[in-house]
Amino acid sequence: MAYDITTPAAQMLMGDLNDMPSLEDVFFVKGKTAIVTGGSSGLGFNVTARLLQGGANVVMASFNPAEENNACGVLEAKGFGPDRVRFFQANVTNEDDLEALIKFTDETFGSIDILVTCAAVWSYAQIYNLPKAEFEKAVGVNLTGTFLTVKHVSKYMIDHEIEGKMCLVSSNCAWLPYPTFGGYAHYAASKGGVVSLTIEAAKELKRYGIRVNTVAPGGMATEGATKNLVIDGLSEEDEDELYDGISTPQLDEIKSVDSVARVVYAMCTDFTDGITGEKIVPDNGMTHNILKYQPEISQFPED
């Protein structure tokens, strides 16, 4: 049968093609501006770099001013200078800092189209040895800080009629406890809260065209992962138990930070316009016990 453009079926297909934006348009973020909390180190830095490669301007927010020179210097060496990326010192638990961050971003780049929340703290202690203050610190930064950042950025987006994207970084530890015998209750609780916050924020902000999702990776080889140790004040026996559990051989390879950063980047693009309120899990199959290899199993700890 010969092709006939006048048939309704052909007209519908042609309409679909005509309405279809190019992949370049949907998978790049040219001309947009992003705030990345925790953006000057670890996963946040990799996300910052990917957003810059995608064409966005980025403000890296961090409470640690010592990270500014290295982060900005490395990015400038790759061609991303102060006309594209800036550092701003802010504590995500402080609303005055967040208001100042938003003002700075608006005055510097003229918009806020994307938010990525990577700021997080953690440490190790069994729940029966975990001080209340340590629990509150993790929840304060990881959950309350995420809530406050979403609160103030969403206000800006609504006031400026921006149909933005928010990607809140959580963790698969919210439902997959580790190390071997725990020690992560405060971090897991805070990241589980981020998953729930994502769903509620997506529900509230959808009518403004703002899409909110969470990316929940597993362990990654970041600088922070090597510096966050057991809490102070534990007995030597409790410390040894935690470190033995942490150092137990992994059942699969540790994924690269950039493999997660690429997923976060995708959630910030128009490519994912049809997704909101979702939990994306780039943990290389860890959640489903999908392993690259199975090591020899021995009793741990020894009986």
Whose structure tokens read 């400038």? 76
Q: DSSP H helical segments within 116-235, as ranges?
A: 132-139, 145-159, 185-205, 223-227
Q: What is the mean pLDDT of residues 13-36?
A: 93
The dihedrals phi and psi of 89, each to the nearest 5 degrees, come to -80, 125
Query: Tens of pLDDT along 32-51?
Result: 999 999 999 999 999 999 99
* Weakest-pLDDT range from 60-69, 111-120, 219-228, 237-246: 219-228
Whether pLDDT at 249 is above 60: no
Say whether 167 sits in a helix, a strand or coil.
Answer: strand
| Res. 231 pLDDT band, cuts 50 70 90 | confident
CA distances from 284 to 217, 275, 289 (A): 9, 21, 9
More confident of the two residues 96 and 253: 96
**Quick one: pLDDT at residue 87?**
98
Q: What percent of the chain has pLDDT over 70?
A: 92
Domains and CATH numbers, the chain: 25-283 (3.40.50.720)
How many angstroms separate the CA atoms of 207 and 158, rounded?
A: 10
Q: At what angle do helices 145-159 and 95-109 cross, to 10 degrees?
A: 40
Q: Which of 128, 187, 265, 293 is catalytic?
A: 187
**For residues 264 and 116, is the Cβ–Cβ distance under 8 A?**
yes
In the residue annotation, 187 being an active-site residue is answered as yes
**Quick one: pLDDT at residue 182?**
76
34 contact partners, CB below 8 Å, separation of at least 6: 48, 51, 56, 57, 58, 59, 112, 113, 114, 115, 116, 268
